[in-house]
Amino acid sequence: MTDAIVIKNLTKSFKNQKVLEGINLVVPQGKMLALLGPNGAGKTTTIRILSTLLNADGGQALVGGFDVAREPKRVRSIIGLTGQYAAVDEYLNGRENLEMMGALYHLGKSKIKPRAQELLEQFDLVEAASKPVKTYSGGMRRRLDLALSLISTPPIIFLDEPTTGLDPRSRILMWDIIKKLMEQGVTILLTTQYLEEADKLADRIAVLDKGKIIAEGTPTELKSRVGSERIEITIDHKSDFKKAVSLIQGSGLRQNPEERSIGISTDGSVKEIKRVLDILDGAGIEIDAMSVHTPTLDDVFLHFTGKETNNITQ
Amino acid sequence: MNFWTPVDYIIKLINPFLNPIFNMFDLKKIKTNRPAPAATNSFAQEAERKAEESWYFALSDTWVLIMRSLKHIFKNPDQLLAASVQPVMFMVLFGYVFGGAINTGSINYINFLVAGILVQMAAFGATTTSLSVATDLKRGIIDRFKSLPMLSSAVMTGHVVADLVRNLMSSFILIIVAFIMGFRPVASFTDWLLIIGILLLFTLALSWVSAIMGLLARSVEAVQWFGFFLVFPLTFASGAFVPTESMPYILRVFAQNQPVTHVIEAIRALMIGTPMGNHAWLSIVWCIGIIIVAVPVASYLFRNKSTQ
């Protein structure tokens, strides 16, 4: 099997800030790799280098066997890019956007119209096809944006945070579309801040933090590396929250004051669960809900970085 | 030794000089030896078929993006309003507000004014490119075009051509309004063709400068200052609305020698028969000079935008 994307020791700095500090990745043909990390980790920079929009400082990136720096035109002809912001033409309608993109991809004239129609149907945009894009909702824009990058049926697709800012319904619709693409044997590199998304969709996950890959493996592998069960507790009263956190302590403690939830790693034994509950009960702190579950990728991130996925705004 | 050998020789000779220029325009490099396909994996065939660089695709990309920008004129209410209502307002306001107070000697003020307003409107019309380019950059459309196997700098050509068409439309409306207000030109058919030619050349030059401003601007809002800092002084400190003789010395020297005045005076001479002097050829030299500098600069900035 050929490797669709090969990244070797890729580095990139903006002014004095190092954005990528030597990244190595391989995506086999027909597989999906999710690049997981918080804002500012270097996800978009990686995608921009792979899609020939940005030159790397060092290292090498091969897409479809072509060096992105040496043969950008060949790379461009086999990729589809969906960026973080829906890059669609506001004043044209959905169909015009698709047909324009088809012409710019140099599809034959006879192929453009049927392909545009096919994508409109596939992405649930037939009704909106003749309306200007500026009247579209956020979810419709994203769908059109993805449809635009698929007009030439590219074998390799880059999806840069395709569901960021979408409502749950649109997100699920987007996931279905991405799953269908994978069934068609397309190679996908997806970036996401949503651990659930990477877990659900990807064959492999690379965790990116501050320009370095801190962990890589299948979703199951990554989760098993963290090793233990987790207890998730929701405190009833907000006023009790700080007290509860200071009382519980424990390894891999994670707190979310807004949702009044506390998570800790345990061995999953009844004894351990009872200990935690006894502490809270003794202090007169009421519990709203409690659950025991296998680690999520949020926990994975915490495990590998030793910190929360505190997103810094770009 | 065959028929093409001299051609090959000449191409080899001029190749080092031509390639930087072709690179600048992102067009096909002249190659005497076509390289063998680099990759032989399953992606290679796909890439070969679509990435084929040629003048045909360069032209077709440009055409597609011209059509895109032209559609914007009619689908964007702001642009349509600017093209249709603005000339009426300009002509009526300037004609009736200043008309009685400005002394243009033996020339009727409406007759004097039309050339000035026409050029000022064309200048403002040409700033639309900067707004369009800045908006495309901000929205990420230019990134999308750059990730395609196409001539992405054609996006600027599209906006520039749209400026030409929009300016033609608004000029037509302005002339009609002027006629209603009593404009009586002496221009012949050939004179009108020359007027249109100069006006389009002027728009073309300014639109390319405008494209540079759009690429340099840090935000869409910042682009608005382009009109304020460049077009306002150039069109008002000119012979557009008042005879330059009435201005203070320093301003008059500037006003009488800057390109916009030459364009206005050339058009005015063709329209109502004022003395032509050097205005016609000076305005053409200015415009072509600006185009020769602005197009490569715009292409260079476009290529290097966010690819450091």
Contact A91 B71 (CB under 8 A): yes
What CATH homologous superfamily does A3-223 map to? P-loop containing nucleotide triphosphate hydrolases (3.40.50.300)
Instruction: Inform me whether the pLDDT recorded for B175 exceeds 70.
Output: yes
Considering only A80-84, A128-132, B41-45, B262-266, which range has the smallest mean pLDDT? B41-45
Look at the block and give the residue holding tokens 């025991």: A292
Q: Which of B27, B43, B79 to mutate to test the interface with A (most CBs of A within 10 A)?
A: B43
What is the rounded CA–CA span in Å between residue B161 and residue B171? 15
Instruction: Inform me whether the pLDDT recorded for B29 exceeds 90.
Output: no
Q: Which of B23, B63, B148 to mutate to test the interface with A (most CBs of A within 10 A)?
A: B148
Q: Chain A residues with CB inside 8 Å of B64's CB? A: 100, 103-104
pLDDT digit string, tens, across residues A159-183: 999 888 888 888 898 899 999 999 9
CA dihedral B183, B188, B191, B195 (to 10 degrees): 30
φ, ψ at A129 (rounded to 5°): -55, -35
Instruction: Inform me whether the pLDDT recorded for A246 exceeds 90.
Output: no
Q: pLDDT at position A233, please? A: 85
User: How many contacts, defined by CB atoms under 8 Å, are there between A and B?
Assistant: 120
Instruction: Inform me whether the pLDDT recorded for A222 exceeds 70.
Output: yes
pLDDT band at A306 (very low <50, low <70, confident <90, very high): low
Chain B residue closest in CA terms to A109: B60
> Given CB atoms, is B42 within the 8 Å cutoff of chain A?
yes
Which residues face A32 on adjacent strands?
Answer: A188
Q: pLDDT at position A6, please? A: 94
For A87-186, strand residue ranges (E) read 156-160
Instruction: Inform me whether the pLDDT recorded for A28 exceeds 90.
Output: yes
> In angstroms, what separates the C-alpha of B55 from chain A's closest C-alpha?
13
Extract the tokens encoding A190.
């997806």
Contact A53 B146 (CB under 8 A): yes
Considering only A193-197, A288-292, B26-30, B259-263, which range has the smallest mean pLDDT? B26-30
Burial label for A217, CB within 10 Å (0-12, 13-18, 19+), is middle
Q: pLDDT at position A148, please? A: 93
Answer whether B162's CB lies under 8 Å from B128's CB.
yes
The helix (run of H) or strand (run of E) holding residue A115 is: helix A109-122
Query: What is the rounded average pLDDT for all residues in chain B?
Result: 82
pTM of the model: 0.80
Instruction: Inform me whether the pLDDT recorded for B195 exceeds 70.
Output: yes
Chain A residue closest in CA terms to B142: A87
Instruction: Inform me whether the pLDDT recorded for A72 exceeds 50.
Output: yes
Query: What is the rounded average pLDDT for all residues in chain A?
Result: 86
Task: Give all strands of the β-sheet with A3-14 in edge-to-edge order.
Answer: A17-28, A3-14, A58-63, A66-67
Answer whether B133's CB lies under 8 Å from B156's CB.
yes
pLDDT band at B60 (very low <50, low <70, confident <90, very high): confident
The helix (run of H) or strand (run of E) holding residue A105 is: none
Q: Chain A residues with CB inside 8 Å of B52's CB? A: 106
pLDDT digit string, tens, across residues B200-255: 999 999 999 999 999 998 888 888 887 778 888 888 888 888 888 888 888 888 88
Contact B75 A92 (CB under 8 A): yes
Q: pLDDT at position A113, please? A: 93
Chain B residue closest in CA terms to A71: B38
**What are the residue ranges spanned by the domains of chain A?**
3-223, 228-294
At B60, the amino acid letter reads: S
Give the CA diameter of chain A.
75
The helix (run of H) or strand (run of E) holding residue B27 is: none
Task: Give all strands of the β-sheet with A32-36 in edge-to-edge order.
Answer: A79-82, A156-160, A187-192, A32-36, A204-209, A212-217
Q: Chain A residues with CB inside 8 Å of B53's CB? A: 73
Instruction: Inform me whether the pLDDT recorded for A312 exceeds 50.
Output: no
Q: pLDDT at position B206, please? A: 95
Answer whether A128's CB lies under 8 Å from B124's CB.
no
Q: pLDDT at position B43, please? A: 67
Answer whether A111's CB lies under 8 Å from A101's CB.
no
pLDDT band at B47 (very low <50, low <70, confident <90, very high): low
What is the rounded CA–CA span in Å between residue B42 and residue B38? 12
Q: pLDDT at position A179, please? A: 92
pLDDT band at A311 (very low <50, low <70, confident <90, very high): very low
Look at the block and give the residue holding tokens 């990759």: B39
| CATH architecture for residues A228-294 | 2-Layer Sandwich (3.30)
Chain A residue closest in CA terms to B41: A65
The helix (run of H) or strand (run of E) holding residue A153 is: none
Considering only A29-38, A171-180, A222-231, which range has the smallest mean pLDDT? A222-231
> In angstroms, what separates the C-alpha of A24 from chain B's closest C-alpha?
21
**What are the residue ranges spanned by the domains of chain B?**
55-304
Q: Which of B55, B144, B145, B146 to mutate to test the interface with A (most CBs of A within 10 A)?
A: B144
Burial label for A156, CB within 10 Å (0-12, 13-18, 19+), is buried
At B177, the amino acid letter reads: V
Contact A104 B148 (CB under 8 A): yes
Considering only A63-77, A143-157, B133-147, B228-242, which range has the smallest mean pLDDT? B228-242
Instruction: Inform me whether the pLDDT recorded for A297 exceeds 80.
Output: no
Q: pLDDT at position B283, please? A: 93
Contact B308 A55 (CB under 8 A): yes
Instruction: Inform me whether the pLDDT recorded for A284 exceeds 90.
Output: no
Q: pLDDT at position B1, please? A: 35
> In angstroms, what separates the C-alpha of B77 from chain A's closest C-alpha?
10
Q: How many CB atoms sit inside 10 A of residue A97's CB?
A: 26
Q: pLDDT at position B95, please? A: 83
Instruction: Inform me whether the pLDDT recorded for B26 exceeds 50.
Output: no
> Given CB atoms, is B72 within the 8 Å cutoff of chain A?
yes
> What mean pLDDT is predicted for residues B124-137?
91
> In angstroms, what separates the C-alpha of B86 from chain A's closest C-alpha?
21
Q: Chain B residues with CB inside 8 Å of A29's CB? A: 42
At A281, the amino acid letter reads: D
> In angstroms, what separates the C-alpha of A163 from chain B's closest C-alpha?
17
Q: pLDDT at position B69, please? A: 94
φ, ψ at A185 (rounded to 5°): 85, 20
Extract the tokens encoding A208.
């990116």
What is the rounded CA–CA span in Å between residue A50 and residue A86? 19
How crowded is the C-beta side of B214, counted as CA atoms within 13 Å? 28
